[in-house]
Amino acid sequence: MEAKIYNQEGKETGEIKLPLEVFGLSWNTKTERLVRQMVDSMMTNKRTGTAHAKIRGEVSGTGRKPWKQKGTGQARHGSRRSPIWIGGGVAHGPRADKNYSRKINKKMKVKALFSILSKKLSDGEIILIDNFVFKEPKAKEAKNILTSLTKIKGFDSLKGRKNACFLILGEKDNNILKSFGNFSNLKIGQVKDLNILDLLQYRNLIIVNPKKSIEILSLKLK
């Protein structure tokens, strides 16, 4: 499978062979179910317990019996901290120590990731850029680069669209990070940290230094 490589001016500079096991997977109903399962699990794993109700042993108050056990004509009670009393503990309330995490199978997660990459490539939503060259961090140059990339057929949405693009770096580059850091419609990340949620949140992907990036992606198969 061949794909075109562009420079930061939006001009074609060559081609690269893409591995089928990463960018050539089919998209079908079974794949959709797998991706949905992975998304649900990852979103659940991000959940933290914040709601917290105190049980009867945690609320403040006396431990003395409200009244004696017998002889008053009233129902027996052992504590004012019981859930049936106003100001008492809560029975079966939410707890901050609840664990919402789910186990995610590594092979399933990798297949879902590569399935999304394959779908985006077939839909024409991936641009491969040989490299971004910045002598120093400069947002103006970064903006000019994005404007140049909009000239590529199918990528006119890179400019001015919310969640327009996810910029993926083969390796960390502070000049690139700082130059693109203040663009509200763009997110920057490294290919080693690539995950399903980022891929689905942004329409277009710009993969910088594709040779290095693809090597890192292929290591996930091992």
Per-residue confidence at 21, pLDDT binned at 50, 70, 90?
A: very high
Q: Is-contact 195 42, C-beta < 8 A?
A: yes
Structure tokens at 209: 């230094």
Please tell me the predicted confidence (pLDDT) of residue 160. 62
User: What are the tens digits of pLDDT across the range 136-178?
Assistant: 999 999 988 888 888 888 787 776 666 688 999 988 889 999 9
Please tell me the predicted confidence (pLDDT) of residue 182. 84
Residue carrying the six token digits 């809560």: 90
Give the CATH fold of the 2-47+101-221 domain: Ribosomal Protein L4; Chain: A; (3.40.1370)
Cβ neighbours of residue 144 under 8 Å, at least 6 residues apart? none
- How is 179-195 classified by DSSP, letter by letter? HHTT-TTEEEEEGGG--
Please tell me the predicted confidence (pLDDT) of residue 221. 83
- How is 134-148 classified by DSSP, letter by letter? -SS--HHHHHHHHHH
Structure tokens at 53: 């109700």
Q: Are strands 204-208 and 186-190 parallel, antiparallel or unpaired?
A: unpaired
Prediction pTM value: 0.80
- Tell me what percent of the residues of the chain surpass a pLDDT of 90: 56
For the chain, the average pLDDT equals 89
In the chain, ranges of CATH 3.40.1370.10 domains? 2-47+101-221
Structure tokens at 212: 């290095």
User: What are the tens digits of pLDDT across the range 174-222?
Assistant: 999 999 888 888 889 999 999 999 899 988 899 999 999 999 999 888 7
